[in-house]
A and B are shown apart, each in its own frame.
Chain A
């Protein structure tokens, strides 16, 4: 491979200085200029000692002379540490590797210098520059090699491909000098595998076979005619497989011979000394690599070096001749182009690939063409695309360098390129994903933003920007101050334990200061390794839900409040107070019959006083086309989502009034009617000012519901008051009526009774009748009075110690005559005494009512009255054989104005049993009836004889009726 070293050296990352056999500098590359500070003009033609410190010069000249004379191999390829003299006079430590090239008998000495102190800078240079194909391949392999076992097969592969030879074998040297073919690689004809495999089973004694010889001598061997190769152990197999040439070279290092590399070709290769030297150099490099692996002390340095080269992986190298025909391709170039080196070699570059502009896709000049034309190194940095004929196009970064012969004639071009399509694709995909995310983020109705891991604001979608305006730094500034502490605490917690945040909060809109409820969500963003790299946040407006929720809660509370009291003014005041600041900053309630608002509410009592004074000074117009009185007249709500200044001006009575109204900072308002029973009894006004909320139709709906409930509450209070009044009127009437009815009874009764005291034959029967009827009238009047007391819950009982048995005897005695008149007989079965704590008159009344009913409905039969006491409960039972009570009537006979039979046949108010039950229950007892239609009825009253909760007997006014 006729490569001009100068061309290669020019692109080398390491500084390279070339001298002739006389020790005069003939060339230095750009890296050397950078490293030493000397320009080409300053050095070319000068002795090598120019770049050495004074003290070294004598030793160098001596050593150099010996080197030229002996070509002592051990210093070839062996890096040595020497000081170099920088142009500015500094001494710098460098690592020097010497190699020697013999072209047409002329010696060229190449020194590669590596700055040990400025390695990082060099690494960067190395990264962007190229090595020649084979060395590059090996270096690339060794760069990321971990150990010999892993590196050697790849070296074999890289070199067989770089050399375009068929089989590669590595012979590993054992400590006793014997060799084992540890690794083999083959390509091309599949039969080559047999050779590689066979070789791997062979063990060569020290000095045995060609590999043994090479190992012993440390010199490369090149066999161009395998069929005639003497002492070649696998000659027959090789010939059978059609392998014609063999190249062997030692993997050697100054201190140690590691093994031998062997390559076989199916072509009859011509002996190429340069190749042999090159491969010898490669052998040194590999040996050096192996040594480095073995030497602990150089491990770190080695790693740095390996890592430096590691960065070069992925670079493709293609070399062409001066006409642009391909002469070499490395595996990466093969991979990228889809061509194998074997196929591509000798083809014009444009058959394999072309280069286009990434954006316009216009075909561009390849670096090879540029170099051929301009004969200089070119770097076509970015925006180019490689279009291989056999592989997908890729975005590349490329460079090219001329290969010049000694006379400066262009003999080829080295083109290096790097596939950046993946990088570009990722970049593009990331950009695309980002743009798409941003687009999506702009489409959604939520505010969307991202935060860095530390919580700093990053991405913000359009809505966020529209809503939040110019907020920078801390996103919490977006949150309304009232909610900020709570959200801040939650956010802190979220960051501490890395869990999603979900909080409801009010956010302030920058444009108009409106405060809207949002649902905040923040979730951690994690990378592929599950590390938290930031936060994604969104805020969804939930104002409506929140208002509805708040509204219904508010309505519930308000309703509870409204039903809590029947004092409507108190109720309305509580309602207005509840409204601020829950749904309004100001709330006023105006009733239909009042000129000024009945109630004005605000959280600040000072403002309430001020507003009241204002409303007294400027009472609202009753006939205005807007406002509370208008709403009362029309029964229709008014909504002012915005309260512009013009509205205030229109409403203002004068300049002072306007100024005062402006001061309040009215923002939004609504006036809703209080409708109840088809009438509008008033209007409620809600005003938003400092809270900056804006009312909408949904708010009006809520307010209307509230007003309606308030109206009903007011109406209920009115109805209740009316009912109360009606009850009072009725009670008064009853009281007067009973008084007025009793008054005439008094003289009537007294007169009859006085007459009866001095009876005469003729009048006594008549007086008896009059007396009976007066008594009956008295009873009716008394019942009426009792009923009025019971319904007014003012029945008073007068308790005393009462013997039920005694009372029973008295009452029965009174009724004997009456019973006799209806041919009934009263039979009493009673215990001797049943003493308890009762209202004597009421007990008499109870027994009298039951007996009277028994006589009335008993059809003149037997009436059995029994009184028993069992477990402190007295049971009085009155049983008749009368008409009985139908089942359906039994349940209702104890109700007011109810009777089991028609009033046409039996007189009375139908109040007797109801009154009896009331009187029994008032004394802690119970009454029940058993009856069968046509067979009579049995009423039983159970009265407890002992009751704990009885009132104390009065000291005065025992019952004397």
Chain B
């Protein structure tokens, strides 16, 4: 512990020196911007700036790039809440209740809760990263294909709780998302499936064009199809901040989202996106009034936004502790350190303590900077809603097209976005929730791959999923979740008998 404190002191000396601090602030600024722009996600953002950092020293390079990474997790919530456009894939869940809050005039409150939740999650998970990295990283490596399959199945079963409408509808849209995820080159055999001769579809359908189309474009279409334009919201200053009741409702989700997000983030792979979905499902399940979800429940913003920030730090655990690229973004960060001749991993902390501790300390500083950046922006961003729709919506469309095109410079992505926009419009009309499509699309390739890897390892024996303890435990949890989801009434009955229902709920039912 004394060693850690000594290291941290050294780290703060490095992180607070003007030369390094400036890069941390710059990274946070760029990250916020990258998060706000629909389409341009953290991976595109740091990939773009990576070459520019080759001329910097290693510490400044990593501080700048990491700032973009966790900064984008803050920025991602802004457009989700105000315009129902996910700034990046991990913010899809925030669109649901965040945007509903905006329509009720609570957009400012949602933004403030998201910023504070992100700050708490970001800071606490850096503490976790600092203290728990080595043992957690060893644990994460034990996640082989069967464990990963079980985790993804668990993520999909969480849908049973996520659905704000009927469960069959949610499962149907998730199945559609899984089917979209089948497009592309089969990683196990090299066959191209459902490619329609388009080389661009070889890598599969991108998450960004689908998310922007289903949410952003569909929202514009839907509003344009209304007989009367929606009233322009004129937020007053007093309404910008969350009420005491809203704060109180957010504390639990922020705490749970942090722990959950961090643990899910540690696991190698792209699991971090599901942390926000699982957090949403958990909050809805724990809520005494789950019917409020989808109608602007502040818990539905606080939980997922905290979870995606915590997951961002969690993903750095295997990278720092073992030098293992646990996902596409840590892989780019690893490259940024390696071009300076440093080897990440267990030796890094001894080889160059200034870099290691400076990096850790810069994340504490960066989270503070982001909070200071984002809270004042709440007022500014909310006032964007004052713009009349005939000006605002064309601008939104332009940003959607620019952002989606910028990721791969692919016109195919724009067509995917357009088709998904039409599909999203149709789904809105038919009262389907589009979020499960995005979840299905994200999970399908990983699920298929780890499932088939598991069977290849076991020689076709399905027993591998229950023979390994971590996998078996998660599958059991998934089955339990599904059973509980099918019997919500029974659960409420049990809770009542156990005296778990608080007076608050009784008041509500009495009213």
Question: Are A and B part of the same complex?
Answer: no
